[in-house]
Structure 1
Amino acid sequence: MSDFAKSLSVSASGLQAQAQRLRHLSENISNADTPGYRRKTVAFETAFGLGDSVSAVETGRVRLDRNTDLERIYDPQHPLADETGHYDGSNVNLLIELSDAREAQRSYEANLKMFEQARKMSAGLMDLLRR
């Protein structure tokens, strides 16, 4: 596998990983008001197999955030309220989700620029070889 193909593969794996991260973040944001919803997190892992000490990134298992307690909401009229008038909300913090989404977006854009640059360099090399 050529160096250009390896760089394209690494960039593409980063794009896929950040896209999956953004999907889970948007799911968390859309379920912020869903009672009992636990925030989903995804971890990145190294994917081997490109050879020559080049490795790509892939997403690991999706996990539920069990470290953060669900918010206790007081609303005696809610159908899920217990005898004290409380029910479990979600553990999604919109500030954290939005900052994570911004970070994932910037990482996605960086991988996209790297992909475009490798493609341009490869096209430039092909043009030189045709002369």
Structure 2
Amino acid sequence: MATPTPPVVPHQGRRRASGALEGEVLAALQRAGAPLTPREVQATLSGELTYSTVVTILSRLHGKEVLTRTPRGRAYAYAPLTDEAGLAARRMHKVLDGRADREVVLTRFADGLNDEDAALLRRLLTGAVPGPW
């Protein structure tokens, strides 16, 4: 009796994690320096993503309050709310805001800093170094 042949499944390449896709779209918007529609974002990514995927990613980033959007014709044009450093700071704030034990979290964060970063943080907190903002 012959063994059945397994079905052939076409190779679809490696899928990227949604965080990686969000990062690519966000980087494209930051490079542009001006609000872009989903079609314009798609074009900057060399057609690597479908239009519907770009729209989904932009909608998710807008929902996470990472992007602003304004009507442009029949679509929206999206722009980042801040630069990469600002986004990292926002993520840090969100993590901290979600914790009841803020003092413990901040203490462990500060304890994990290397000497150079700890000294910089000390200077920033005492106003000895003006922030880049």
Q: For the superposition of Structure 1 and Structure 2, which TM-score range results when normalised by the shorter chain?
A: under 0.3
Relative to the length of structure 1, the TM-score reads: 0.25
The structure whose RCO (Cα within 8 Å, separation 6+) is larger is 1
- Using the size of structure 2 for normalisation, the TM-score is 0.25
Q: Larger strand proportion, structure 1 or 2? A: 1
